[in-house]
Each structure stands twice: as structure tokens, then as C-alpha cells.
Amino acid sequence: MFADIGLVTLWISLVIAVYSLCAAVLGRLYKVSELITSSYRGIYILVVLIFVSTLGLVGAFVSNDFQVLYVAAHSNLAMPDIYTWVAFYAGNEGSLLYITMILIVFSALSIRFSGKVTSDVLPIVAAILMAVLIFFLLVIIFMANPFEKSLIPMIDGQGINPLLTHFGMFFHPPALMAGLICCAIPMAFALAHLISGKCEDEWVDQGRIWGLIAWGLLAVGLLLGSWWAYTILGWGGFWFWDPVENAAFMPWIALTAFIHSIIVQKRRSMFRMWNIVIINIAFSLSLYGMFVNRGGPVPSVHSFGASDLGWVFLGFLAVGIMLPFAVFIWRFKLLTSARSLESMLSREAAFLINNLLLLGIAFVTLWGTVYPLISDLLWDERITIARPYYDQVNGPIMLFLVVIMGIGPLIPWRNSNWKSVARALKLPLAATVIAFVILIIGGIREIIPLIAFSTIVFVLIGIFREWFKGTKVISSKSGSMFVVSWIRLILANRTRYGGYIVHISVLMVVLGVVGSSFYDYQRDVILMPGDTYDIKSYSVKYIKTEEKLYSDRVEFTSVLETYKDNKYIGELRPQRSFYPDFNMASTRASIRSTPVEDFYAVPSENSEDGSVAFRFMINPLMWWMWMAGPFVIIGAVISLWPSVSRNKVS
């Protein structure tokens, strides 16, 4: 019953989506406001219909309707109900339905809260978004139907992939998929303004808001994915430059460039042409991400497997690149900025350098991702690009990017001179030199960590200096307490100071990445119950392994007493589980995490004689990487929140 309701509402949704598209186009062409209004109402109705379809699939999972092939493939009677949501998007069919639901919700919100977008542009936005929605509905109904039934009812299903039974899976895939499809919203506003001939700054506010929402979703999804890999895969790492990882990383990088450059357009009416290009790059990369994830020819351990959908999305990707490019060429002469770059010693120039570096990272990553396919086509030999390529090429670019992140906010708009720049940089540079010397005295000799840690100090001091100066001005004018003045400062310019909070989160990620990459320490050892093993300042005593039988797995939990500097610090309980239905094992690391370092323990093999093979790792500064997540969310929310009038604050 649930599946039937879900399929019927999908068909109705397709009909209404086609109507909304036609009504928006015809209403715009012939200036019939009633048609345009009905188009918008159709979009709002679609939210309800597609949500009902989504509930239909959830209901099929909850009721264990194994006649539905998708339910049988991704759940079974042994699966705890809590994983129903994860099973929902565990395969192509369900994930596409989820993406469709997010697309229509975002589309409705963007139409309802369109701000200053004029009435002759909004129908074009609606038409573009409906065209994208129709594509997804057609793919779901005819190629990836989650409600397809088998002729013979099944008693039980295959079950959910053990790697998906992790807390991070409740948020990591949904955030990434929502972030990827959200790129369609700012692209639609940009393209609609181009088509209508309004090529100035009318779309900037909507572009920035939805670009920032997409950016925030992708950022959270990427961090959660790294945490998932760190805790469940058992190798102690968090990023492998896998094609699907790259497919989410590249649009995030492009959106980062867009969010920065759109500020210049909003404030100085510059970079009009540039921003149109960047948002289309971000949208194209998001489509590429869906293409890779749908089983395209680029191999990945994260993709849904071989599928004809990959080629369908490749065709959609081609249209998504060529159509905006054709409109861009058509309206090229109208895309002139009101102002030009006056000086390379200006904040605008810093934003431009920032953009070039970010797009450089995106290109390097894209080239490494598609190179196996290119080598296969040209030389009939698949050459895989490994992690060292990305680390060695992207690493220095990212480090230089962090430097620009510290310099840019300290340089004034329009133009400056070396004397004023030197004055602004004096305190951050002095702190950087002091930090550099302290690091050397502390025993750090590697050049990359020295530069990275010193750069973090440089950027932090610059941010705190700006905060202190602004807070001091407000405090002196209003007579309020310093903390109150600091809050009022942030409220006065939420875009700027929310951005600073996000910059701090980036510094936290850099700290975690550099610390764990250069100073991690790993040992693999086999222990019998009662054995003790020393690893640097830690000592681990293996007590026993507890065996527990569940409906879907056998779980082995090792009990480890842990000491640091001969002081008992607690018990670690890493797990290794075997899933008979999948004939595979899955691990759960046990981690003692502090701001200084992580002590990481994971079992790799249990033997019949009671011995267990363990991997122990010390990962310095990893805690900071995971703490960056809340800062990203807080900074993004502050940046999105409407600013209070400066006059009111003062």
C-alpha cells in the first residue's frame, strides 16, 4: 500500500511539474500573471506530493514490505528500526528520491522568499528549477524506481550495508546530497537574470544566500564523512582523495570562491562576469558529483556501483554545462562591471587571488579524478592517481590560500599603499615571528608544519585584531561592557564577522590535518589477554574480549585498560563485528580524544587462541578538526542572518 501511494504521487508530481514549467514559461512570455501564480502554486503542491512519496518509501521500510525490490535490497527483519532513514538513501533509487525532495523544498523556499527579485525574472527561475526537477522525476520513474515490486513476495531482505550502521550516516550523505542539489538554486537565479537581460546585481542577494546554504551543507557533510572514515574504516585516516570524496569537495571549493567574490559584486559592483562563471562551475561540478556517485566510469569505493544512470547523468551534465555557457555568450556584452580593479594592493585583488587559488585546487582535484579515464581512453591503460599527487600539489596551494585569508581582511577596499598595509600587518607578523621561534625551540623542524602553524597564528591575530578594534569603538561610543560590544559588533556586520568565525574553523581543520599528517605514530601488535604494550607515553593492557550475538551480527568488544605517563586514564572498548549475511567484518575504533592528541585503538583480527591484532595510533591535534564543525555551522548561520542596521547598533 505504501509503495503504491508513493508511486502514484510521483506520477502526479511529474504531471504538475510539467504544468508548472509550461505555466511559468507561457505566463512570462505573454505576461499572464494568473498563469505565473498557478505555476508557483504548483511548486508548493509538489512539496506535499513528493513528501508523501518519500513517506511512502519510509512506510515500505517500516512495514518490511519486501515485495518492494529496493526495500528487500537494503533492509531485513534483523535491521533495527533506527536505521530505516539510512536504508532509505542507501542505494540509487532512494537517494534520488531524497535529492528530489530536497530540490522541491529548496525550490519552493527560493520562490516564496525571493527578496528583491523582480516579477519578470522569478518565472524564469521557476521554469529552470522545474526543468531540473522533471529530469529527476523522469529518472526515478523510468530508470530508478524505488517502488518497483517483485512478482514473487520475499520473506526477508538482504539487509543494510554494515558500513552504514554508524551515527555519522544519519547526517553525512543527506548533507552532501542536499548541498549538491542546492547548487541548482543560485545557478537558476543567475541564469534567469541573464536570460531576462538583467545582468547587473539584482541576483546577488539570492545567489549569496543559497550559495552559502549549499556551501554549509557540503562543509558539514565533508567533515562528517571524514569523521565516519576515521572511526569505522580502521586505518586511522580521514581523507583518501577518493573520486566520490573529490566529487563533493570540488563544488564546495567552487562555492567557497563564489561566496567570496559575490561579496565584491555586492559591495563594489565588480566581478559580474566572473561570478556568473563561478556559479556555473559550481553547478557543473555538483552534477559531476552526482554522475560519479551514480556509477559512472570513474571507479570509487563510495559509489552505488555500476549503473546506466551514470551515462544519463553524464548527458545531463553536458546540458548543464552547454546551456548556461550558451546563455553566457548570448548576454556577454551586458556583463560589464560598474567598476574595475583599481589596485592590486586592495581587498578586491585579495579576493581575486583567493578565487584563482581555489579554482586551482578544484582543477588539480578534477584532473586527478578523471585522469584514470583519460589514460584509459588515450593509451588503453588505466593509470590511477594516488594520494601523494593531491597532497603535494594541493597542499602548498592551500597553505598559500590560508596566508591570503589572513592578509585580505586587513587590506582596505579600492586601493592602498605599502605603508598602510605594513602598519596593518605589523602585529600579526610580529606574532608570527615569535610563534616561529617558539616552534623551533619546541623541537619542530619540518618546514611545512613550521609554516602552517605560524600561518595559523598570523591569521588568528589578524582576526582578533579586527574584532578588538571594532569592539573597542562600539564600547567607547555606547559605554557598554566589552563582551556586549563584541556581540553588537557581530550583529552589526554579520556577513563579515560570521565569515571570520568560519575562517577560524578553517584554521582548526588546518591544525588537525597538519598535526595528524606529520606527527602521527602507529604500531600494529598482537596481544593475548593480560599482555601490556607500551607506545610512547601510553601503556595499554589487554584484559579480555567480550562476545555478543545480535540478530544481524556477532560483535567482539575488546577491553583495554589505558595509561598515560603511568596514570590510569580510562578504558577503551574497540569493536570488531562479523555480519554473516554480507560475509564481511566491520570495525569501530575506540578513541581517547583531547585537544593535544587522540589515542586510537582498533582491532583488525580476532584469533581462536584469544589473541587479538590491534592497531594503536597517536594522532596529534585531531580534536581540533572535529571541533571545526560547530564553528562552521555557527559562522554560516550568522552570515546568513539578516544584518541589523549599523545606525541602530551605533
The helix/strand/coil state of 431 is helix
Q: Express each pLDDT in 429-467 by its tens digit.
A: 999 999 999 999 999 999 999 999 999 999 999 999 999
In sequence order, the 6+-apart residues with CB closer than 8 A to the CB of 487 are none
User: Which pLDDT band, with edges at 50, 70 and 90, does 646 fall under?
Assistant: very low
pLDDT at 647 over 50: no
Q: How remote is the C-alpha of 148 from its chain's centroid?
A: 31
Q: Which of 463, 470, 471, 465 is nearest to 507 (CA)?
A: 463
Please report, to the nearest 10 degrees, the dihedral formed by the alpha carbons of residues 352, 358, 361, 367 taken in order.
Answer: -80
- pLDDT-derived band at 255 (thresholds 50, 70, 90) equals very high
What are the backbone angles phi and psi of residue 299, rounded to the nearest 5°? -70, 140
* DSSP code for 68: B
Which residue is listed with cell 587479538? Answer: 612
Cα(624)–Cα(620) distance, integer angstroms: 10
Largest distance between two CA atoms of the chain: 83
Work out the pLDDT band at 386, boundaries 50, 70, 90.
confident
Q: In a 3-state reduction of DSSP, which class is residue 388?
A: helix
C-alpha cell at 317: 551534465
Q: Does residue 225 have a pLDDT over 80?
A: yes
Question: Does the pLDDT at position 118 exceed 60?
Answer: yes
- 368 and 389 in contact (C-beta within 8 Å)? yes
The length of the chain in residues reads: 650
- Residue with grid cell 518519500, as numbered in its chain: 54
The Cα–Cα gap between 539 and 560 comes to: 10
pLDDT digits (tens, 9 = 90+) for 619-629: 999 999 999 99
* pTM recorded for the entire structure: 0.94
Beta bridge partners of 559: 544
Question: 49-53, 191-195, 262-266, 380-384: which has the highest mean pLDDT?
Answer: 49-53
Contact between 88 and 61 (Cβ < 8 Å) = yes
Q: Looking at the DSSP assignment, which residues form a beta bridge with residue 571?
A: 561
538 φ/ψ angles, rounded to the nearest 5 degrees: -100, 150
C-alpha gyration radius of the chain:
27
| Mean pLDDT in residue range 509-533 | 96
Give me the phi and psi of 540, to 5 degrees please.
-125, 130
Percent of the chain with pLDDT over 70: 97
- Identity at 444, one-letter amino acid code: I
Residue type, 336: T
Distance CA 606, CA 87 (A): 29
**48 pLDDT higher than 70:** yes
Q: Is the pLDDT of residue 294 over 90?
A: no
**Would you say residue 366 has pLDDT above 70?**
yes
Residue 183: which pLDDT band, with cuts at 50, 70 and 90? Answer: very high
Alpha-carbon distance of 288 to 364, in angstroms, equals: 15
Question: Does residue 296 surpass a pLDDT of 80?
Answer: no
DSSP state of 197: T
Is the pLDDT at 143 greater than 60? The verdict is yes
Average pLDDT, the chain: 91
Lowest average pLDDT, out of 118-132, 288-302, 462-476, goes to 288-302
User: What average pLDDT does this structure show over 92-105?
Assistant: 96
- Tell me the CA end-to-end span of the chain in Å, nearest whole number: 61
Which SS3 state, helix, strand or coil, does residue 437 take?
helix
Position 359 pLDDT exceeds 90: yes
Q: Residue 648: pLDDT above 60?
A: no
**Count of H-run helices and E-run strands, the chain:** 20, 10
Strand partners for 548: 555
Q: What is the pLDDT of residue 645?
A: 47
At 115 the pLDDT is 78
Indicate whether 42 pLDDT > 90: yes
Give phi and psi for 198, each to the nearest 5: -95, 90
Nearest-angstrom CA–CA distance, 455 and 431? 10
Mean pLDDT of 290-319: 72
Answer whether residue 300 shows pLDDT above 70: no
Burial group, residue 76, by CB count within 10 angstroms (0-12, 13-18, 19+): buried
Residues 6+ apart with CB under 8 A from 21: 39, 126, 127, 130, 131, 134
Q: Which of 11-25, 155-169, 217-231 has the lowest mean pLDDT?
A: 155-169
Nearest alpha carbon to residue 597 among 533, 524, 528, 535: 535
Average pLDDT over residues 77-98: 91
Model pLDDT, residue 39: 97
For 101, residues 6+ apart whose C-beta sits below 8 A from its C-beta are 50, 51, 53, 54
pLDDT for residue 22 is more than 70:
yes
Confidence of residue 80 (pLDDT cuts 50, 70, 90): confident
Residue 355: pLDDT above 60? yes
pLDDT for residue 302: 53
pLDDT, residue 297, reads: 59
Indicate the pLDDT class of residue 477, thresholds 50, 70 and 90: confident
